[in-house]
Amino acid sequence: MKKLVSLLLVLAMALSLCGFAAADNALPELNTTDEITITFLTWDDFELTQALADKFHELHPNITVEIIQTTTGDCTATLTNLAADNNLPDVFFWLDLDPLLANPMCLDIAPYLEADEEAQTKLYSSLRRVGYVDGRRSYFMPGEFLPAVIYLDKAVFDKLNKELPPQDWTWEDMLDLIENMTDPAQGIWAYNFYMGPVTLGPVALTDNVLGEFGWDGENYHFDTGWVEMVEKQSEYARLGYQAIQGSDAYLAVVPDDMWPGESGHVAIQMDAYWTMNNIYTQPAALERGLQMVPYNAPLGEGTDEAGQFGWIDMVSISATTEHPREAYEVAKFLTWGKEGWMERANLYGTLTNEAGDKIYRLPGSLPMIEDDEVVAALSPLFPDLGYWNDWSDYLANIQNPVTFGGRTIPGFNTFIADFYHGSDYNGYVGIEAAINAGAIDPYDYTDKLNEAGRQYYTDAMKVFYSVYGE
């Protein structure tokens, strides 16, 4: 560990001397003569990633990008072991923030981000700030973005003689639908969820939000969004608005206990972007009559800089890389940069698997930058579903993506596991279990949750400072 800390300090000093203090604050030039290999660790989209790596090599013939494959289950342990062996990849995706803060794995890339005009002007504003752990040093940047998607089944809406809302709907519009779309006589439930109101609501209803439960960079806000939504989510289940797989009521309508989201008996499915590619555009779902229309998670009325929840995988550059400038350029090209996304537009439309079938029925992830040329290049790749084809409005309503707290908030996972889900609340383990049982009033606990969350954050930052320095 001492060796890694020393290397980190040396790299930090080197960065301050390699041209970032220039008057124009421009990125240093890439090395264009030495033969360089940059290793890149990822856990999915291997065909796409390799094709992007090949394109980068074509553009920069002296730089070879070597893809290292892992899995989501093995990623954290793999990185920890590689760090212990002083053998980290130059660039790597990761899932859990705290292990990175407890080991000196990551390079401070703030000098690169702040000298990169594209990073400062194109990235979604919420994503420009994700890696700034202490407010001044940045140890990661967005690597892949897959938004939470609220699917509305047009076939169910038609059956109930209901109009679909516009794409720029509000959080209040969605709640109104949840509260008015259940029809037991027709075997229809209002909604089912993967990520429900308790997760999406605190982000959608809190101003200047950066993370789960209203996190603003220093504090949680359980009194905004969470307290209302944890109560409503419990109430919706109790009132029968939620389709609960395996329940007697559900089995009476869907005897084979099919997942509610593809049963045709749910008006609203709160889910993930990849479900459109993997399920809703597949022949089986279409033959069953599903007509799922994608919507972005809506924002609360009157909010300013509220967020929309999504899966955002993060990417870091190793503190021990011998080629930090080139590693940054590789990481950018293979993740959020415009040049790489223009190449992705070609690949999403042409990549096939070993059987010769197209891998992507629509782009496999969405851009993390605001750029009309990227949107124009991607737009032809979105399918006309027959019953709906308003992808331009869908894409126009992505704002301030916010992801899981464990990827952006120090101490979050321990706070949630130990305090939120693991503590005793009036005889029940976990605060949501106690609320669902009617054993506590959530309004009595907002201050306690805010204070506890802040303490876990403070403790994690002490570890961070001990490893990375003040």
Q: Domain locations in the chain?
A: 147-306+419-456
Q: Where are the alpha helices (DSSP H) in 192-337?
A: 197-204, 227-239, 248-253, 274-275, 283-287, 324-334
**Each residue's pLDDT tens digit, 138-194:** 999 999 999 999 999 999 999 999 999 999 999 999 999 999 999 999 999 999 999
Reference 271, options 247, 290, 287; nearest CA is: 290
* Residue environment code for 266-299, b if the CB has 16+ CB neighbours within 10 A, otherwise e: bbbbbbbbebbbebbbeeebeeeebbbbbbbbbb
Which helix (DSSP H) or strand (DSSP E) does residue 102 occupy? Answer: none
Distance CA 294, CA 151 (A): 5
Pick the CATH number of 147-306+419-456 from 3.90.700.10, 3.40.50.300, 3.40.190.10, 3.40.640.10: 3.40.190.10
Are the C-beta atoms of 328 and 41 separated by less than 8 Å? Answer: no
Report residue 299 as tokens.
């924002």
Amino acid at site 387: Y
**pLDDT for residue 7:** 43
**pLDDT for residue 24:** 56
Q: How many other CB atoms are there within 10 angstroms of residue 138's CB atom?
A: 24
Are the C-beta atoms of 270 and 196 separated by less than 8 Å? Answer: yes
Distance CA 156, CA 228 (A): 28
Three-class SS of residue 401?
A: strand
Q: What pTM was estimated for this model as a whole?
A: 0.92
Q: How many other CB atoms are there within 10 angstroms of residue 28's CB atom?
A: 16
Are the C-beta atoms of 405 and 198 separated by less than 8 Å? Answer: no
Q: Which of 13-27, 211-225, 290-304 has the lowest mean pLDDT?
A: 13-27
| pLDDT band, very low/low/confident/very high, at 11 (cuts 50, 70, 90) | very low
Q: Is the pLDDT of residue 12 over 70?
A: no
Instruction: Report helix angle 324-334 to 46-59, nearest 10.
Output: 130
